[in-house]
Every structure is written in structure tokens, then in C-alpha cells.
């Protein structure tokens, strides 16, 4: 599999991360970063991924009956309607099989999806959109956290995770611990080991 170039929307600014980059995001409101990304896309050296902001997407696990598989794409909004506060007509649904009858589902507001498409329009070829939590490494019994200045991204299962304000993280992790039990391992990516670990219940 080819290496990936990840494109993110951070604080209203589009940025991209070249594969193996250690020097942070390349901001796409700067001509040099724009040219570099366009060159990568044109040469097809990397697979471009758009990381759908974690705070804008809800991840769900769904088990269906065998007869529902054929029409899942059409029936999915109605299947999940009672679990969602928003009008299903205003939402975008994506699904991926985890097993024969088990599916991962991502739900995002249609207006967000249109905004992302407009932001990405100058960079054709970005065909894969993946929720930020699902881009984090994960294995059974583990939570993986990315802590940034004022935000946090958490992955806690094959298709489970969320994004939140950093200040809300202790409360959300306590709720996760209460509902799902304690993990065997917590992996944290951050900038300040002492401050970051203080957020863990």
C-alpha cells in the first residue's frame, strides 16, 4: 500500500501532512504548501486522505439482519433515526462492513460535508474521507489519544471514538470508562507529558 498524505481542517484552516513529516502541518493558505500538495496529487506518489473532523462526525456500530444487507445504503438513515437528534434528511451516512452482519457507520451533517467538498475543490483526487478517530492506531484493549492545544481526539475501538475540547476530556473518559470498562493500555500523543497525563482519570 502506498503511503498517505493526510489533509485536515484545523481551526478553520486547511492543512496537509506529508508522509513521514515531523515538522507539523503544511498550511494550505500558503502558496508553497498548495503547490507541494498539488504536485503530490499530480504525480500520484501518495494516497491523499481527508480526515473528517472528529467533532463533526458520530461513529456507531450496527448489527443487521441478513436480509437487510442488499438495501443497507437506503435503509440506514431510517434504521438509525431514533438514535439521532437531527433530521435524517440533513445528515450524510457512510458505512463499512466489519463482519458479515456487523457494520461501522459514520454520520455527519450534510452542511459540513458540503463545506469540506468546497474546501477540497482546488485539490482534485482526494477521494477517501475518513473520520479523524479512525486514522489513529488502535488494537484490542487500547485507547489512543491525540492531544492538541485545545482539542482531543480519542479512538477506543475498531469503529469508535470522538473529538472534544481538551477541557472536557477527563469527564468524557470517565464516562467511557464507566460504560466500556478500563483499557489495558492508553497511548497518548501530545506535547507535554505531565499536562497530558493529568487529563487521564
| CA atoms of 94 and 138, how far apart (whole Å) | 21
Number of domains into which the chain is organized: 3
Within this chain, do residues 65 and 18 fall inside the same structural domain, yes or no? no
Report residues of the chain scoring pLDDT below 50. Answer: 1
Q: Supply the pLDDT for residue 152.
A: 95
Q: Are residues 149 and 70 in the same domain?
A: no
159 and 89 within one domain: no
pLDDT of amino acid 169: 95
User: Are residue 89 and residue 118 in the same domain, yes or no?
Assistant: no
In this prediction, residue 21 carries a pLDDT of: 64
Report pLDDT digits (tens) over 20-35. Answer: 666 788 999 999 999 9
Over the stretch 84-126, which tens digit does the pLDDT of each residue have?
778 888 899 988 888 888 888 999 999 999 999 999 999 988 9
- Cβ-based burial of 48 (10 A; exposed 0-12, middle 13-18, buried ≥19): buried
Q: Are residues 182 and 167 in the same domain?
A: yes
pLDDT of residue 53: 96
> What is the pLDDT, as a whole number, of residue 66?
82
pTM: 0.87
Neighbour tally for 159: CB within 10 Å = 21
Domain of residue 31, residue span:
4-53+113-134
Amino acid at each position: 500500500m502506498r503511503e498517505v498524505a493526510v489533509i485536515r481542517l484545523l481551526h478553520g484552516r486547511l492543512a496537509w501532512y506529508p508522509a513521514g513529516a515531523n515538522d507539523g502541518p503544511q498550511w494550505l493558505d500558503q502558496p508553497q504548501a498548495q503547490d507541494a500538495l498539488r504536485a503530490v496529487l499530480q504525480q500520484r506518489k501518495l494516497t491523499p486522505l481527508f480526515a473528517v473532523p472528529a467533532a463533526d462526525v458520530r461513529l456507531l456500530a450496527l448489527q443487521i439482519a441478513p436480509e437487510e444487507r442488499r438495501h443497507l445504503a437506503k435503509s440506514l438513515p431510517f434504521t438509525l433515526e431514533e438514535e439521532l437528534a437531527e433530521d435524517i434528511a440533513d445528515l450524510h451516512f457512510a458505512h463499512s462492513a466489519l463482519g458479515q452482519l456487523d457494520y461501522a457507520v459514520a454520520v455527519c451533517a450534510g452542511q459540513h460535508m458540503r463545506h469540506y467538498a468546497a474546501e477540497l475543490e482546488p485539490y482534485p483526487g482526494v477521494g477517501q474521507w475518513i473520520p479523524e478517530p479512525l486514522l489513529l492506531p488502535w488494537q484490542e484493549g487500547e485507547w489512543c489519544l491525540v492531544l492538541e492545544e485545545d482539542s482531543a481526539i480519542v479512538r477506543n475501538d475498531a469503529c469508535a471514538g470522538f473529538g472534544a475540547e481538551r477541557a472536557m476530556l477527563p469527564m468524557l473518559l470517565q464516562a467511557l470508562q464507566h460504560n466500556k470498562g478500563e483499557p489495558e493500555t492508553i497511548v497518548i500523543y501530545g506535547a507535554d507529558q505531565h499536562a497530558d497525563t493529568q487529563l487521564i482519570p
